[in-house]
A and B are shown apart, each in its own frame.
Chain A
Amino acid sequence: GAGVSQSPRYKVTKRGQDVALRCDPISGHVSLYWYRQALGQGPEFLTYFNYEAQQDKSGLPNDRFSAERPEGSISTLTIQRTEQRDSAMYRCASSLAQTGMGNQPQHFGDGTRLSIL
């Protein structure tokens, strides 16, 4: 596809369950980012990858959150033992250039709306 694709669009699950959110970046984009956005706020950084290497995971709230990008393309954000406070919009973005090597815009997907009951 032409843009960043995220699935599912909506996810409702019970507290304590694990969830996996998927991001398919724009073809050829080297860098991939995960953000979380609360209602009425701007997105907050979670983690990012260059190719398959996770470069920065300083924004992950705790060790229940993890992300991978094993082949340098599709990425999965996994939240284990979900809690109600994890409810938010999770957004993925990709950019063409490797981070730190130029000024490149980030292109965002439509996000996954996660609701923990």
Chain B
Amino acid sequence: SQQGEEDPQALSIQEGENATMNCSYKTSINNLQWYRQNSGRGLVHLILIRSNEREKHSGRLRVTLDTSKKSSSLLITASRAADTASYFCATDARGNKLTFGTGTQLKVEL
């Protein structure tokens, strides 16, 4: 079963704009991870944020975590056409299996 839900399901923006995706989950977690998937290919790990962290940066990526609201957001700044992909959040509740959300399909147009 899917724990998380990403919002929006689909997002279309122009190159150079920022893209924000949200993830909500249901149970307490050890950490939350964001992954990117291009055209049905492999999942690429983007960033991991621990439950005691509130914000984390990696290049053009910024992730926030609000454990009181059981939600996270992924911000991609200055988007590029190459950022076009599906983005998934995944929660790690007990240090083992990941529970994925349903994904956000991002399209960055030139």
Partners in one complex: yes
Q: Which residues of A contact B (CB under 8 A)?
A: 31, 33, 35, 39-45, 48, 55-56, 59, 89, 91, 93, 99-111
Q: Give the 9 A-B CB pairs with smallest separation, nearest first.
A: A42-B100, A100-B95, A99-B96, A45-B97, A108-B43, A110-B42, A105-B45, A103-B31, A99-B95
With both chains docked as a complex, state the minimum distance between the C-beta of A106 and any C-beta of chain B, in angstroms: 6
Q: Which of B22-55 contact A (CB under 8 A)?
A: 30-31, 33, 35, 40-45, 48, 50
**Do B2 and A103 have beta carbons less than 8 Å apart?**
no
With both chains docked as a complex, state the minimum distance between the C-beta of B51 and any C-beta of chain A, in angstroms: 9
- Is the C-beta of B102 less than 8 angstroms from some C-beta in chain A? yes
| Residue with the highest number of chain A CB atoms closer than 10 Å, among B48, B96, B97 | B97
Taking a contact as CB atoms closer than 8 A, the residue among A48, A89, A108 that contacts B96 in the complex is A48
Interchain Cβ contacts under 8 Å between A and B, 12 examples:
A42-B2, A42-B88, A44-B1, A48-B97, A56-B96, A93-B43, A99-B96, A106-B33, A106-B45, A108-B43, A110-B41, A110-B42
With both chains docked as a complex, state the minimum distance between the C-beta of A93 and any C-beta of chain B, in angstroms: 8
**Number of chain B interface residues as a range:** 20 to 34
**Do B96 and A107 have beta carbons less than 8 Å apart?**
no
Taking a contact as CB atoms closer than 8 A, the residue among A101, A105, A109, A111 that contacts B33 in the complex is A105
Taking a contact as CB atoms closer than 8 A, the residue among A89, A104, A109 that contacts B40 in the complex is A89
| Other 4 A-B pairs with CB < 8 A, given A42-B90, A42-B103 | A33-B98, A41-B2, A42-B100, A102-B95
| Residue with the highest number of chain A CB atoms closer than 10 Å, among B35, B44, B94, B98 | B98
With both chains docked as a complex, state the minimum distance between the C-beta of A38 and any C-beta of chain B, in angstroms: 11
**Do B48 and A105 have beta carbons less than 8 Å apart?**
yes
Flag B76-110 by CB within 8 Å of A: 1 or 0 each: 00000000000010101011111111110000000
A109 to B99, CA, bound (A): 17
Across the interface, which residues of B come within 8 angstroms of A105, CB to CB?
Answer: 33, 45, 48
With both chains docked as a complex, state the minimum distance between the C-beta of A91 and any C-beta of chain B, in angstroms: 7
Closest to A105 in B: B45
